[in-house]
A and B are shown apart, each in its own frame.
Chain A
């Protein structure tokens, strides 16, 4: 068997793509989520549809979009609407299956901070802020978070809750009455975390060659390990070829 070489970003993209289902309506962000969606569409999910917060429905980008409002998203799309329409008629109304999220910090219960490190009024590091993520995290049927696994990115509690995961666990999210089910998986370069029945992010899968100890070292809380812990399939030659030759030939993200 040939041993394939791939990097951490490719590993995250391939694993995120595999979580998408054929026929999903996906609210897409640029960068890694965009690559994951396009990979899924070219492999197991040809009927997946991409929705962009700029108000583009059914985008078929011919080139790698570098911003969330790239003109390539519009040419050949099925529909373009205002931002108010995309957030109300599509997201708030319940027409979005999947939201992709990232952030500077993800905590034990899948809450995300994309706003500030330190105090809000006197920020140590000021981050870009919510954008669409506050509503996507609440209202998409399911969410996936993609981020490299580092201790500083995985504190027990985020400095600021930009978007909701499972709050403090124990059914707190359900009590808020929001329609979406919350984060179903956090895909990192070491493995995949999934919420347990209490909403706590638990190690559910390791990537080939990664260890539980390695994940724990890079996580800011005592990490629970699922009884059904699995090892993910390494990226397949075809997945890597599509990523490298068709989707990001200039290597901007991968």
Chain B
């Protein structure tokens, strides 16, 4: 059964004020188009969880959509600070909950596996453990040693961007896999955005590449260039110039508002956004092809 809908419909029917949202993707495949759509539709009081909030959550925080953030590295990757989030935290206007990358991902793994908690070896650095009561210690019943545990993270909605999917939401992903699969399986509802919608036969031609199965997907949206200024392996490069530019834009509230007005509120959808970026940016971000060697599954 086809689950194809527009991104604006999917956000409209799946997201509610106060929801816990996990827009997944570690540097790669970050669904910026979905973030912009959430801003346009004016949702409030969201709990925004991501290992690296990245620019997508800095923009959602700046737009007033967030009540709380859950994260493990709050930086502009390769550049410096996430200034909007940082200012909101330093001024006491944003609630936060903090983990290390591994404990954040372990929470998703617990949620995705239907487990009550996930154990990890202890790290000896007690301060984060003391600052966040979600970290607990339990005794390993086999050795008697103490292990650290974290509770499951079960987002109301996971948003997952992929290279290609069929209309049911069976999705091929390659390149950095981050926490895509864990976020999708942990969530109550999954919105899938894809660079390309392909025939089911293409998915079935390479089942080992299917990271997300359609059975957990609620909505499938065809959104080319969804991840800009992050990237989609093989489709377009990360726009490092924009990551550097955001460092300047986010230095003051006026330029942030001007950016949101021009690039989010001033545009209807991702197609308009991509056109507005212009041919020079398109050309700059276009990678040369590098094909993998085909595999033979055999006909049985």
Of all chain B residues, the one with the shortest Cβ separation from A132 is: B101
**Is there an interface contact between A92 and B121, defined as CB atoms closer than 8 Å?**
yes
Cβ of A237 within 8 Å of any chain B Cβ, yes or no, is: no
Contact between B178 and A55, CB atoms less than 8 A apart: yes
Enumerate chain B residues within 8 angstroms of A156, measured Cβ to Cβ: none
Q: By the criterion CB–CB under 8 Å, are A71 and B128 in contact?
A: no
- In angstroms, Cα B82 to Cα A134, docked, is 20
| Closest chain A residue, CB of each to CB of B96 | A126
Residue from B86, B98, B124 in contact with A173 in the complex, judged by beta carbons closer than 8 Å: B124
Which residues of B lie under 8 Å from residue A179 when comparing CB positions?
A: 121
Chain A neighbourhood of B6, CB < 8 A? none
In the bound complex, CA of A161 to CA of B228 (Å)? 35
Chain A window 113-144, contacts with chain B (Cβ cutoff 8 Å), 1 for yes, 0 for no: 00100001011111011111111011100000
- Give per-residue flags for B113-134: 1 if the beta carbon is below 8 A from chain A beta carbons, else 0: 0000000111111111001000
Q: Which of B85-142 contact A (CB under 8 A)?
A: 86, 89-90, 92, 98-103, 105-106, 108-109, 120-128, 131
> Given A80-B176, A132-B101, A71 and B182 touching (CB < 8 A)?
no
The answer to whether B124 touches A83, judged by C-beta atoms less than 8 angstroms apart, is no
**Residues of B contacting A6 in the complex (Cβ-Cβ under 8 angstroms):** none
Q: Cα distance A131–B73 when bound, in Å?
A: 5
A82 touches B179 (CB 8 A): yes
Contact partners of A87 in chain B: CB under 8 A: 101-102, 105
Query: Does A68 reach chain B (CB closer than 8 Å)?
Result: yes
Q: In the complex, are the beta carbons of B125 and A71 less than 8 A apart? A: no
Cβ-defined partner of A164 (8 Å) among B73, B81, B102, B125 = B125
- Asked whether, in the complex, the Cβ of B75 is within 8 Å of the Cβ of A128, the reply is yes
Task: Name B123's closest neighbour in chain A (CB-CB).
Answer: A138
Q: Enumerate chain B residues within 8 angstroms of A92, measured Cβ to Cβ.
A: 102, 120-121
Q: Pick the contact of B240: A67, A131, A138, A164 (CB < 8 A).
A: A67
Find out whether the CB atom of B176 lies under 8 angstroms from the CB atom of A55: yes
Contacts of B237 in A (CB 8 A): 71
Does B278 sit within 8 A of A, measured CB to CB? Answer: no
**Contact-residue size bin, chain A (C-beta under 8 Å from the other chain):** 35 or more
A122 vs B89: C-alpha distance in the bound complex, in angstroms?
Answer: 9
Question: B43 at the A/B interface (Cβ < 8 Å)?
Answer: no
CB nearest neighbor in B for A111? B125
Contact of B177 among A82, A161, A167 (CB under 8 A): A82
In the complex, what residue of chain A is closest to B236 when comparing beta carbons?
Answer: A71
In Å, the complex CA distance between A176 and B127 comes to 14
For the complex, is B192 an interface residue (Cβ under 8 Å from A)? no
Q: Is B64 an interface residue (CB 8 A)?
A: no
Across the interface, do B101 and A115 meet the contact criterion of CB distance under 8 Å?
no
Taken together as a complex, chains A and B put the C-alpha atoms of A4 and B121 apart, in Å, by: 47
Contact partner, B178, options A75, A82, A115, A126, Cβ 8 Å: A82
Q: B124 to chain A: which residues have CB within 8 Å?
A: 138, 164, 167, 173, 176, 178
CA distance A134 to B124 in the complex (A): 9
Interface residues of B in 2-40 (CB under 8 A from A): 26-28
Q: Which residues between 124 and 182 of chain B lie within 8 Å of chain A, taking CB atoms?
A: 124-128, 131, 145, 174-182
Q: Given A54-B28, A92-B120 in contact, is the A70-B238 Cβ separation under 8 Å?
A: yes
Q: What 3 A-B pairs are tightest by C-beta distance, nearest first?
A: A69-B27, A128-B75, A131-B73
